[in-house]
Amino acid sequence: MSSSLRETLHTLAAHPTDQLDLTALRRGVRRRRRIRAGGVVLALLVIGSGGWSAVTLLRPGSSQVRFADRPPVVSQPDRRQPSPTEPSRATEPGPAASPGAWVDLPDLPGGRRSYAELVWTGSEVLVWGGDRGGETRTDGAAYDPDAGSWRAVPAAPIAGRYGAALVWTGSEVVVWGGVAGSRTFADGAAWNPRTNRWRLLAEAPLRPRDNAAATWTGSHLFVWGGAPTQRPDPDDECPPIPARADGALYDPARDSWTRLADAPEARSGARAITAGDAVVVWGGSRARESVFCDHPETGEALMYTPATDSWGRLPEAPIAAGETVALWIGGQLLVVGRDRYGEESQPGARYRPESDLSSGEWEPLAKTPRDVLIGGVGDAAWTGDEVLMLSAEFHSAAAYDPALDAWRALPPSPVSDPVTAVWTGTQLILQDWQGRAAALTPPDRS
């Protein structure tokens, strides 16, 4: 999910719609989309060795806002350590997916939730947090694609939120940071799917934030960047809320944190990707985005080396900066984004390092056909052979084969934008911001 759309949806989650002028809000969203309308860009990197709750617009079409005094409803943490195992309340199995056809998944126990985070654990899709019925949740549910059913996940010992970092370590799902209304968080918890229990994380040496870049390095959780939230100035349509430049590594084996050296610049909404012994940070903006405007995203990539606690830069890519999705695909970093300058089909580029990751040259890739993937990329997943991509604004879907440098169309997805996607090994499972989920078994390549 793009950072700008996430900000808009998070604002809707925090503020009841009965006190919100949706017409003016839609104008703001459409204005951003006009600015960002364009084709899809692509890059390959080949690597060698408690606040307000209601918003009311002062007049139709006005960007000024005022805030009611009623605080948002946030589910409170369960402080028992660890959380007791609750009986699993499995839903009825959903229909099996045939190759080339989308299938709607059954709803979560208790019903759908909006703005929830997803992660694949190797056998289940965990959906955690988000909003249901105006309450920010701290519980979740796990979906077994083989059984086609959900089981309930108990409440975590932290407050409900969305926009958190959610990472699978191989044995636990670690949740850290996030936001609920006007409050950002700097705490976290870890869930063990085998025992269905939670544990609190040690206190992090970081200030509260959401939209942080996060990835699992193989031994540590990497968390960097992001931004706080604050009460905006009603006289300023684009209040500057600077992003963070600091981060930390979390060791789940020792339940301890280690601060990172500060990066050369701050970013919010960036993507962190584990690339061998390094972490590449791609995209993001240098200030937090608001409902009515956003800040330009960068097309430069940073790199962090844990062994030396040092930062570097990759050469600037010859592609337009925009909303991006980045994936590590076994020796390659695939960056898929939207051209904010308006070209219908922007060529991608392949980056080949020379002596090290920080030096090399870019090569052009095949153009991204607009009739194959429309409206930019909302999310993507790597199958081992292809990258499956979902549109950010429409229902179109496509697959890209890096070996052949070729695209093919996939059946249109049944869910609305934006989406979060995970690959289970046989199926692409995605969820839209309203909580509707669907699965696709990709058709055979011909």
- The CATH number of whichever domain residue 369 belongs to comes to 2.120.10.80
- Average pLDDT of every residue of the chain: 75
**Do the domain assignments include residue 403?**
no
6 with 313: CB under 8 angstroms?
no
Q: What is the mean pLDDT of residues 222-249?
A: 81
The per-residue pLDDT for range 64-105, each reduced to its tens digit, is: 232 233 334 445 554 444 444 343 445 555 555 578 899 999
Kindly state whether residue 237 falls inside one of the protein's structural domains: yes
pLDDT class of 133 with cuts at 50, 70, 90: confident
pLDDT band at 176 (very low <50, low <70, confident <90, very high): very high
pLDDT category at 360 given cuts 50, 70, 90 is confident
Determine, yes or no, domain membership for 424. no
Longest Cα pair distance anywhere in the chain, in angstroms? 59
pLDDT over threshold 70, residue 369: no
Residue 335, pLDDT score = 74
Tell me whether residue 393 is in a domain.
Answer: no
What is the per-residue pLDDT across 204-216, written as a single tens digit (0 to 9) for each?
Answer: 999 999 999 999 9
Assign 374 a pLDDT band (cuts: 50, 70, 90). low
Cα–Cα nearest to 292, from 138, 115, 44, 61: 61
Residue 421 has pLDDT above 60, yes or no: yes
Q: What is the pLDDT of residue 30?
A: 31
Look at residue 23 and tell me if it is in a domain. Answer: yes
Domain-embedded: residue 143: yes
Distance CA 434, CA 415 (A): 9
With 0-12 CB in 10 A as exposed, 13-18 as middle and 19+ as buried, what is 361?
exposed
Residue 289 within a domain: yes
pLDDT tens digits along 260-313: 999 999 998 888 999 889 999 988 887 765 544 556 667 788 999 999 999 999
Q: What is the pTM of this model?
A: 0.78
**Three-state SS annotation for the chain:** CCHHHHHHHHHHHHCCHHHCCHHHHHHHHHHHHHHHCCCEEEEEEECCCCCCCCEEECCCCCCCEEECCCCCEECCCCCCCCCCCCCCCCCCCCCCCCECCEEECCCCCCCCCECCEEEECCCCEEEECCEECCEECCCEEEEECCCCEEEEECCCCCCCCECCEEEECCCCEEEECCEECCEEECCEEEEECCCCEEEECCCCCCCCEECCEEEECCCCEEEECCECCCCCCCCCCCCCCECCCCEEEEECCCCEEEECCCCCCCCECCEEEEECCEEEEECCECECCCCCCCCCECCCEEEEECCCCEEEECCCCCCCCCCEEEEECCCEEEEEEECCCCCCCCEEEEEEECCCCCCEEEEEEEECCCCCCCCCEEEEEECCCCEEEEECCCCCEEEEECCCCEEEEECCCCCCCCEEEEECCCCEEEEECCCCEEEEECCCCC
Its domain, for residue 64, covers: 3-96+119-375
**Inside any domain, residue 192:** yes
d(CA 383, CA 426): 8
Q: Higher model confidence: residue 346 or residue 207? A: 207
Number of domains in the chain: 1
Name which of 38, 40, 14 is nearest 25 in CA terms: 14
Instruction: Give the span between the Cα atoms of 364 and 351, in whole angstroms.
Output: 9
Amino acid at 159: A
Q: What is the pLDDT of residues 2-46, one digit of tens each?
A: 444 454 444 444 444 333 333 333 333 333 332 223 333 344 444
Amino acid at 216: W
